[in-house]
Structure 1
Amino acid sequence: MGVLTEVYEMLNTCNKCGGCHTACKTYKLTGQETMVARGRIQLIKAVADGKLEPNQEYEDAIMSCLLCGECAVACANGVRGNELVMAARRDLKLRKGIKPFAKSFALKTLASPKRLGMGFSLFGGMGKSVLNKIDGMDYFRGIDIRNFPTAKKPFLEQVPERITVQHPKHKVGFYVGCFLNYSLDQTAHSVVKVLTKNDCDVIIPKDQVCCGLPQYAYGDFETAKKNARKTIDTFLDKYKDAEVVLSACASCASMLKHDYLKLFADEPSYLPKVELFCEKVVEFSEYMAKIGVDQSQLYNSSPVRVTYHDPCHMIRGLKVTKQPRQLLQMIPRVEFKEMFEAGRCCGAAGLIQAFYHKVSTNITDQKVQNIKDTNADLVATSCPACMLRLQGGINKAGQKQKVMHVADLMANAYKD
């Protein structure tokens, strides 16, 4: 049975009302019917019925979707447009492979720690030196290339496998993820600091790999499964004493907790192990709010105004919204200011920012304006990809706000 056959019934539940138009960022920017869930669903159905061959226009419609999930929230019929797009991407992968080559290469690189580490190392060294000598290379497709941070050494090489405290109350397995390992290593240290300040032993497996989300999002289930199986077996077999598997990346956490169940739905013999793993997964803010934060140690020397951006995978994937705000407001002298459309996509959306950069940049520009309107000094969020995208957009706009992870703000508020 083909991929589109499996979702055919859901394709037919779209009553073409257009309710998704109010939620879809790509439609609001372009005004094109092919750039909204209703239009995309009709195209997918035409391909499923054999009335349309997957041409370039079709591929652009499917590949330009942000997968933000807002259409699913807005749909009165409960049609999950983002999941139908995922099915269409899987179908395209099986028909044609992943194209263009640059996208295929990027996904293979992300899946391999060796390739990814080498890529970040080259970019952080020779790559930036070359770019600094080229006029007009400040921003590549809206991405702030010059200021893109790279760790001098991957976080996993900076820390021991186990970090213990004197009187542990909890034992946490830390799934680090690619960006915290190779780019935002200071944020990874912040996560460990907050955990240890709150009586947690931290287990950090050295042989971690990408969670598989980039590959899964573009239909390469085989590679995604390989990395997912490695992650599950690592945490459940080698580090079974970890009470939870914590991620400080909303995208990784959503993949680990929810999408692994979908990914292995066709493997009933392995599924019980997947379910056990998924039950252990928890996002950083969610976990800290659950175990309770020792606020007596928190300190802040000067007042600061902070706003918060809800990553798509956080608000619609994990449905975690209150906890990061609660943590931020625990910090002394923080004035919290809610921004307009805090839960709307920032424009990162995985590889969308590289391959559909005009759409991505417009979305980022809108978010940056919303940030400016708050008069905030700092922007907090819970996703490394959002952090990088937002900071780049702010820099490009000539604004001064600094983007930080919730864990960074909390760690900075603890006296060493």
Structure 2
Amino acid sequence: MGVLAEVYEKLNTCGKCGFCHGACKTYKNDGAEFLVARGRVQLIKALADGKVEADDDYEDAVNSCLLCGECAVACPSGVRGHELVLAARRDLKLRHGVKPFLKSVALKSLAKPGVLKFGFGFLAGTGKSVLKKVDALQFVRGIDIYTMPAAKVPFSKQVPEIITVPNPKKKVAFFVGCFMNHAFVSSAHSIVKVLTKNDCEVIVPKDQVCCGLPQYVYGDFEQAKVQMTKIINTFSKYDYVITGCASCASMLKKEVIELFHGDASMLPKAEAFTKKCYEFSEFVVNELDIADKLQNETPVSVTLHDPCHMVRYNSLTAEPRSLLKSVPRLNFVEMFEANRCCGAAGLVMAFYHEMSEKITAQKAQNIMNTGADIVATSCPACMLKINSGLRLKGSNVEVKHVADVLAAALN
């Protein structure tokens, strides 16, 4: 049975009411029917019925989806449009592989730690100095290359495999994730500081690989399985596995079950593994007692951006807010549409950058309207995209991980 045949009945549940139009950011930017869940679902159904071809226009409709999940929240019929788009992408992968070629290269590169290390190392070294000689290259596809963090040495190589503390109360394995390992290294150090200051021994396994989410969302289940199998084998021995990336958390806690659906040998291991996995703020709120240790002499105003994988995939919205509000002299300001997509959406920001920039510009404006000094979030990709959006608007609002704000308040 083909992928679309498996979801065919779900395709038929769309009542064509159009409630998704008010929720979909891609539709709001363009107004084209193929850029909203209703249109995408009808296109996918038409392909399943043999009425259209899987041509470039069809692929654009499917691949430009942010997978933010907002359409599912708005749908009165319970249609989960983003999940049907995932099925369509899987179908495309099985038909002719991942297109275009550069996207295929990007996904293969993410699966190879050595390639990532070389790429970010080059950017941290001579890469930026070369780019800065060409003024027109500061913003590349909406990303501020000049301010983009890049580490010559990945975080996992900067720290020992076991970071000890006297009389540890918990032993925690840290799944770093690609972007935090190679770009937002300071945020990874902040996570370690918060954990160690709260009597946690931190283990940073050296043979970490990408969680497989980028490959998974473009239908390459085979490669994603290779990566997740290695992760499960490496991390299952630990009682707690935490990550500071909302997207990685979603893969480790949720998508891994769908990935190994029907695999009798791996599914039980995956199910047991998910029970050990925590997103950073989730772990701190549920497992640690941190409030009494926080100090802050300088008043600061902070707002919060909810990554899509936090709010609609993992239902984690109260936890980061609770942590930020526990910091003394921190004025928390709620942002308008805090839970709306920032436009990053993985490789969407690279291959549909004009659409992505418009979405990011609105998010940046919402942040600026709060008057906050800092916008905190829980996703390195969101941090990158929001920082670029703010810089394009000439704003000096600082973009920080939730862990950065907490670490700064710990002696």
Both structures adopt the same fold (TM-score exceeding 0.5): yes
For the pair 1:258 / 2:260, whether they are aligned, the reply is no
Deviation at 1:169, TM superposition (A): 1.4
Structure 1 counterpart of 2:156, one-letter code: L
Q: Could you say which residue in structure 1 is the equivalent of 2:222?
A: 222
Cα distance in 2 for residues equivalent to 1:167 and 1:370: 45
Deviations 1:100-129 (A, max 9, x none): 111111111111101111111122222212
Deviation at 1:291, TM superposition (A): 1.8
- Cα contact 2:122–2:152 (8 A) shared by 1: no
Which consecutive aligned stretches of 4+ in structure 1 deviate over 6 angstroms post-superposition?
A: none
Bigger Cα displacement from structure 2, 120-129 vs 101-110: 120-129
Q: Could you say which residue in structure 1 is the equivalent of 2:115?
A: 115
Q: What percentage of aligned pairs have identical amino acids?
A: 61
Query: Which of 360, 365, 378 is matched with 2:361 structurally?
Result: 365
Q: Could you say which residue in structure 2 is the equivalent of 1:175?
A: 175
For the pair 1:338 / 2:334, whether they are aligned, the reply is yes
Deviations 1:352-403 (A, max 9, x none): 1111111100000000000011000000000011111111111111001000
Cα distance in 2 for residues equivalent to 1:327 and 1:296: 12
For the pair 1:294 / 2:277, whether they are aligned, the reply is no
Structure 2 counterpart of 1:278, one-letter code: T
For the pair 1:31 / 2:27, whether they are aligned, the reply is no
Structure 1 counterpart of 2:94, one-letter code: L
Structure 1 counterpart of 2:49, one-letter code: D
Q: Could you say which residue in structure 2 is the equivalent of 1:98?
A: 98
Cα distance in 2 for residues equivalent to 1:234 and 1:53: 42
Cα distance in 2 for residues equivalent to 1:410 and 1:107: 33
Does the residue aligned with 2:201 lie in a helix, a strand or coil?
strand
Does the residue aligned with 2:136 lie in a helix, a strand or coil?
coil
Deviations 1:298-355 (A, max 9, x none): 1112100000000000000110000100000111100000000000000100011111
TM-score for the superposition, normalised by structure 2 = 0.99
Does the residue aligned with 2:224 lie in a helix, a strand or coil?
helix
Structure 1 counterpart of 2:86, one-letter code: M
Q: Describe how 1:3-402 pairs up with structure 2 within 5 A.
A: 3-236=3-236, 240=237, 242-402=238-398
- Cα contact 2:360–2:389 (8 A) shared by 1: yes
Deviation at 1:266, TM superposition (A): 2.4
Aligned length: 411
Cα distance in 2 for residues equivalent to 1:83 and 1:124: 37
Structure 1 residue ranges without an equivalent (≥5): none
Cα distance in 2 for residues equivalent to 1:319 and 1:29: 26
Cα distance in 2 for residues equivalent to 1:294 and 1:250: 21
Does the residue aligned with 2:126 lie in a helix, a strand or coil?
helix
TM-score for the superposition, normalised by structure 1 = 0.98
Deviation at 1:294, TM superposition (A): 2.9
Cα distance in 2 for residues equivalent to 1:37 and 1:175: 33
Structure 2 counterpart of 1:348, one-letter code: A
Deviation at 1:164, TM superposition (A): 1.8
Cα distance in 2 for residues equivalent to 1:89 and 1:127: 34
